[in-house]
Amino acid sequence: MKNQIVEILNGIRPEFDFATETEFISKGMLDSFDLITLVTELDESFGISIDGTDILPENFETVSAIEALLIKNGAK
């Protein structure tokens, strides 16, 4: 799952190394528009629907945080 998340992130912002970096929001690697794109891509790729109340910066700071969010929302 982590590799798929990194691939999606790299598709959105290829100039960053999401596999090794952390603090995606804090460091400015992802902005609010990127988050909308990311949520859409994650929903489609994992066949889920991320709840709007879960779209918080802390849920998108790291690959592990995104993975936990996906699992919480039913991704396998």
| pLDDT tens string 1-59 | 999 999 999 999 999 999 999 999 999 999 999 999 999 999 999 999 999 999 999 99
Angstrom distance (rounded) from CA 31 to CA 57: 10
**Packing angle, helices 32-46 and 63-72, rounded to 10:** 50
Instruction: Give the chain's domain count.
Output: 1
- Domain range enclosing 67: 2-14+21-72
Q: For residue 66, give the CATH number of its domain.
A: 1.10.1200.10
pLDDT the model gives residue 76: 83
Burial category of 45 from C-beta neighbours within 10 Å (exposed 0-12, middle 13-18, buried 19 and up): middle
For residue 58, give both structure tokens: 């802390």
Q: 71 by DSSP, 3-state: which?
A: helix
Angstrom distance (rounded) from CA 68 to CA 18: 16
